[in-house]
Structure 1
């Protein structure tokens, strides 16, 4: 049973399933009374509910360290998410060339092939579980073929399960499992013949910072981060958008409009924030707005709440597709702005172009029960059973 807002505000817990349904309502209530509430959950942290506070903290890495970016702690490195300047710049320098829009657009034919194969598996049934039948196969296949350049789908499939568990619970076991999978992926890349291929795993095996090679911990940390970022985020956005397709008559015409739907996609990303929150640690005594924060205290940067702040967005709790601009923080902000944001946008455009080329008139399946996740992927459906017509 969902806790009421008043009880949530008395002791916020971002991972509690009985709070997830009303967390954003609780954040809205806090903005008008105590915009930076403190909770004792998970060792204690301050919760940011305002857009301006989220941006201020994200642009001050000297005051708010990313060294431990998860509320519940991460027992393994997640580089470069957990790295402050100047090291952060060096890690991004290695990865950035593989995640530019131009570099990724070269893989469009492969991405379309992956999407079509997933759709082919269910289109004749005129029904599917969007999460298991489309979102996961497409996001996992994209990561395997484009980022890791591996045919080892069994490894990637295990990564899907571990990444989802990490997003749901942030358990040490899930992160340790991801680190083990990263080890396997790196070993596979090192054992492969040097055929001149240029991909992320090959780059990590050969990259240097200055005149030293990356340590094993650094390599593992970067691959673990790619598992986390590449598997759970796109899956969640696809499921959320299909839910709107199935429940709102105005969404399908928008997605089918000539010239694309870039503005509408940004509004979906604002409304259904993929990564709901991250953590920072104060490096010295400071304050956020009028709230004092002591050195060593933890701060939860609640991106999902910032994206619903009425001081920044009119009608924040509605999907408004004709906004003049959508400066959302769904990909973070500042130096830690998401490495894979171009990859996500390209994947999402392709996913829905291919899906709507074969299907139309989505509806929720009779008796479908929408159970949404708590934790990092707040609000994303665990399962989404729909029916549709073939084009």
Structure 2
């Protein structure tokens, strides 16, 4: 019988359907293991994952710190470590805090309500195509202050970029991702050149000094692209996962009518079955973790999906506990590279749940969903549901 490490293929259909039993077995028996396909040490315990995410001195996000290179289109806040990261991250965080996030949530709730009115009583529909994609594009575009691109076209570009992150497991995904990244970069360039709408992008553009160097402007534009694409893809995946979780946990949606449970529940939905499955760092110097020596230059992958089900960090880790507090899950990352748009993602999920609960039609499953064949982002390609009147 193959060992548990051999059985962990992130792109295997059974793992895509339900990765948690294998991740639990790995966490218990081989919490740190070498994964040849990822060319990395994989970490499954919460404490080990947090240690790596916090310690940017030892574990680098920037490949250049360990002798690697970064293609120009990838130079963004995501590829910088503190202190070099600080100025760009602060620029975007300041611009985000200046936005009307209550207005963002209200607008998202209105958009979902309009979609539900159209879908109620009309038979089965695809949650991904009819709700997750249009809501996510609209919310992120409104936040940035740009005209939303056509949903279908943008979804295809974003999916190609996300799939390319699994290039180590499937090299055929790399080139389509490069092309898609350039397409999105061209779109962001046009926004910087022409968009006059108020929003995060306008604040960022105003804050960048006119005489700033070309590299700074490149980092800012690439970070805007990453924020749009990453915000969209993460929110769309989170919506699909959240709706699926609510469908298979009868009564959970209704319980979240309680405002207190709504606040804690949207975080628990992300912990329980979140979109982002992990991230990559490179060891700057050699050290030990989980009884394994990680050599300088080797990559490590904290597996968020495993960490978020670690019973050492979460009581009843495999249960959906809507009133879980505290809930320091890794669904939005941790430390200096945590998700810039966490508050926006939370607002989008609150809007989704509230709109479902406010609508007179009842949400019901209408068949089996199809999981996307992707290791980095856990998402549905399709998720059939119905609104029963």
Superposition TM-score tier, normalisation by shorter sequence: 0.7 to 0.9
Q: How does 1:132-211 map to 2 (within 5 A)?
A: 132-147=129-144, 149-154=145-150, 157-170=152-165, 171-172=173-174, 173-192=176-195, 198-208=198-208
Contact 1:362–1:387 (8 Å) recurs in 2 = yes
Contact 1:140–1:157 (8 Å) recurs in 2 = no
The 1:157/1:129 distance shift into structure 2, 3 A limit, reads closer
Quote the offset at 1:220 in angstroms: 3.6
Quote the offset at 1:157 in angstroms: 4.5
Quote the offset at 1:297 in angstroms: 0.2
Contact 1:66–1:281 (8 Å) recurs in 2 = yes
Match of 1:312 in 2: 313
Quote the offset at 1:126 in angstroms: 4.8
Q: Which of 102, 113, 130 matches 2:110? A: 113
Contact 2:281–2:299 (8 Å) recurs in 1 = yes
Q: What is the total number of aligned residue pairs between the two structures? A: 374
Unaligned runs of 5+ in 2: 166-172
Quote the offset at 1:7 in angstroms: 4.9
Aligned to 2:275, what secondary structure does the other structure show? Answer: coil
CA distance in structure 2 between the partners assigned to 1:318 and 1:150 by the alignment: 40
Quote the offset at 1:121 in angstroms: 3.4
Quote the offset at 1:210 in angstroms: 11
Q: Which of 10, 15, 18 matches 1:14? A: 10
Q: How does 1:199-348 map to 2 (within 5 A)?
A: 199-208=199-208, 212-213=212-213, 215=215, 216-259=217-260, 261-348=262-349
Q: Which of 59, 66, 83 matches 2:61? A: 66
Quote the offset at 1:188 in angstroms: 3.2
Q: Which of 124, 127, 130 matches 2:127? A: 130
Match of 2:350 in 1: 349
Contact 1:229–1:340 (8 Å) recurs in 2 = no
Quote the offset at 1:162 in angstroms: 2.0
Contact 1:30–1:49 (8 Å) recurs in 2 = yes
Match of 2:27 in 1: 31
Contact 2:280–2:301 (8 Å) recurs in 1 = yes
The 1:242/1:20 distance shift into structure 2, 3 A limit, reads closer
Quote the offset at 1:296 in angstroms: 0.7
1:349-371 alpha-carbon deviations (Å, 9 max, x no partner): 11221232224432211xx2222
Aligned to 1:277, what secondary structure does the other structure show? Answer: coil
The 1:359/1:7 distance shift into structure 2, 3 A limit, reads farther
- RMSD of aligned C-alpha atoms? 2.7
TM score, norm. by length of structure 1 = 0.86
Aligned to 1:37, what secondary structure does the other structure show? Answer: strand
The 1:28/1:68 distance shift into structure 2, 3 A limit, reads farther
Quote the offset at 1:104 in angstroms: 1.9
The 1:377/1:192 distance shift into structure 2, 3 A limit, reads closer
Which stretch shifts more, 49-58 or 124-133?
124-133
Unaligned runs of 5+ in 1: none
Quote the offset at 1:289 in angstroms: 3.3
1:221-268 alpha-carbon deviations (Å, 9 max, x no partner): 212311332111111222222223333322122122255511122211
Quote the offset at 1:18 in angstroms: 5.4
